[in-house]
Structure 1
Amino acid sequence: MERQAAANRLWQHGLHEDNVRYQQGNLFLVAQSLLAVAYSTILTSGSDTQPARVIAAFGIALTVIWVYVGHRHRRYSAALQRRIKSAVPDYAETSATCPPRGIGTTPVLVYVLPSLAAVMWTVLLLIT
């Protein structure tokens, strides 16, 4: 009975961590979007472009933070996934029947999306 309770706690913890990852991604995407809106608003106002350069630099800094937070969370979640697979045989079986091919969803969310944002901010910084 205690073993089942521990497995249930691990499973719930895994669900919580997945939820946290998606919420973090949403937060960073919204922040990046708001910065992009501010950047374009400044440029279309016809005023000095220096504030737009500051926003682009801030966008790069935010992207670096996004990658750092995502990487740490990915490492923690991977360790938790291993524990869940050992504690919940059904989950391990299901995972084994459908091994991931190619790049997984998590690396795309953690590394590819922020990389695209970094490219965008770098280009915007260079053209202003």
Structure 2
Amino acid sequence: MADDDSEAQRIAEDSRLWQHTLHENTMLFQRGNLFLVGQSLFAVAYTTLLASEEHLVAARVLAAFGLVLALTWLFVGHRHRLYYQHVQRRAMQRLPEYAATWASWSGRRRGLSIVLIAYLLPSLATVMWTALLLIT
């Protein structure tokens, strides 16, 4: 009876860990999408303000906010990636099927999409806003 209870508890814990892994993966991409939409809206507003020379100061202020948003995206993405890797390592320790699938996958660039979302896109936005601040 006690073995059945401990087995049921282990299964429940593994299920929660798997759900947590899925949640963190989903959150990374949802946050990336949210920041990307925000950056796009800032870019549209910036170009709209540039159409008139009388709004040049407002365009610069908007570009500065876009830069801060991009740096925030980079920071949040970095922190989330570190946490996601921690959760993923725990899942690989506790969930043998997940570990076997991950190990048997022949893709050499495992996790590349996470790096793109967490680092490349926010870095490109940072470069864009810095350049726009310098040229206006």
Alpha-carbon distance, 1:46 to partner? 3.8
Match of 2:45 in 1: 38
CA distance in 2, matches of 1:80, 1:2: 19
Distance 1:3 1:84 in 2: 13
Stretches of structure 2 lacking an aligned partner (at least 5 in a row):
1-7
Distance 2:52 2:88 in 1: 49
TM-score (norm 1): 0.94
Look up the match of 1:65: 72
Residue of structure 2 equivalent to 1:106: 114
Structural RMSD (CA): 1.3
Secondary structure, aligned partner of 2:54 = coil
Q: What does residue 135 of structure 2 align with?
A: 127
How far apart in 2 are the matches of 1:101 and 1:111? 19
Listed as ranges, the matches of 1:1-128 within 5 Å are 1-98=8-105, 100-102=107-109, 104-128=112-136
SS in 2 for 1:48: helix
Return the TM-score normalized by structure 2. 0.88
Q: Deviations over 1:35-83 (max 9, x none)?
A: 0011000011342311111111111111111011111111111000011
Residues matched between the structures, number: 128
Unmatched 5+ stretches in structure 1 = none
* Bigger Rg, which one: 2
Percent identity between matched residues is 52
Which consecutive aligned stretches of 4+ in structure 1 deviate over 4 angstroms post-superposition?
none
